[in-house]
Amino acid sequence: MLREEHHFLDTETVEKVSRTFKALADPTRIKILHLLSQEECHVNHIADVLELTQSAISHQLAYLKNAHLVKARRRGKTVYYSCADQHVLKLLQMTIEHQKCS
Amino acid sequence: MLREEHHFLDTETVEKVSRTFKALADPTRIKILHLLSQEECHVNHIADVLELTQSAISHQLAYLKNAHLVKARRRGKTVYYSCADQHVLKLLQMTIEHQKCS
DNA sequence: AGAACATATGAACATATGATCATATATTAA
DNA sequence: TTAATATATGATCATATGTTCATATGTTCT
């Protein structure tokens, strides 16, 4: 196929797509999203369940929030997080499922 | 939900899933896979079309081959690459499509 | 065998990433 | 207001990542 016959992705699309996959490319973030797909959780609960420090979790939640993959809700001292992007959640679940049977 | 009531992903699954997403998390690899989804290509053609060096392309193809996402076929001096994982290709295409309409 | 071409690969380098530690901020209770 | 609790955040550090340059390997043609 000649150069001009190809279908090209514009830079912006490529960047956005790579950002989406980057968010899903880290074990801690995968575990967090998988947990939040089961229920809304507060920060310390996530840290307890996943056996990671509060700081590590908080940093990753900030990352995920910035990427619009989770949303936060404050209730007194506690901040509850939940999934905010069903499409990305679906990508994750598809990939987990596919992994299991391969 | 209590710690023991959660559905946990085992370490191996998380690692594999994150490796899959990592492969898709780089702009160059996204462009290569998108190109290979259109046709089998040889290394220099990919480099020409994407306007990147032969070395950069070759390194990324080695990465993708190692991850079993592409396969290679030699024909004389030329090596032709093509996609080897329809599932991962589907993930990529879904994400590209979703990106466009959002 | 030697030249020419296509691809692969190792080293080096700059940047990105993720965890930890210390500390800041926010909220509630005493 | 002070103490206690929950979360956020900046700095630091070790490691990972992606590109480039130089060069090696593999193949074909003369």
Residue B101's pLDDT is: 74
Q: CB-CB: which of A15, A24, A98 is closest to B27?
A: A15
* pLDDT tens digits, A6-57: 888 999 999 999 999 999 999 999 999 999 999 999 999 999 999 999 999 9
How far apart are alpha carbons A2 and B99 in whole angstroms?
26
Is residue A1 pLDDT above 80, yes or no? no
Q: Quickly state the pLDDT bin for A65 (edges 50, 70, 90).
A: very high
Within a domain: residue A56? Answer: yes
> What is the number of domains present in chain B?
1
Domain range for residue B32?
21-101
Q: Does B10 touch chain A (CB under 8 A)?
A: no
Structure confidence at residue A7 (pLDDT): 84
**Do B56 and B44 meet the contact criterion of CB atoms below 8 Å apart?**
no
Any domain includes A10: no
Angle at CA of residue B89, ends B83 and B95, nearest 5° = 150
CA dist., res. B43 & res. B68, Å (int) = 17
Give the contacts of B16 (CB within 8 A, at least 6 positions apart): A99
Alpha-carbon gap: B100 to the closest alpha carbon of chain A (Å)? 7
Is B2 within a domain?
Answer: no
- CB of A20 nearer than 7 A to strand C: no
Q: Which of A1, A25, A98 sits opposite B21 (nearest CB)?
A: A25
Give a yes or no: residue A4 inside a domain: no
pLDDT in tens, B28-73: 999 999 999 999 999 999 999 999 999 999 999 999 999 999 999 9
Max CA separation in chain B (angstroms): 61
Percentage of chain B beyond pLDDT 90 is 88
Q: What is the pLDDT of residue A53?
A: 98
Chain B neighbours among A 74-93 (CB < 8 Å)?
Answer: 87, 91-92
**Cβ contact A79:B41 at 8 Å:** no
* DSSP-assigned letters across all residues of A17-47: HHHHHHHTSSHHHHHHHHHHTT--EEHHHHH
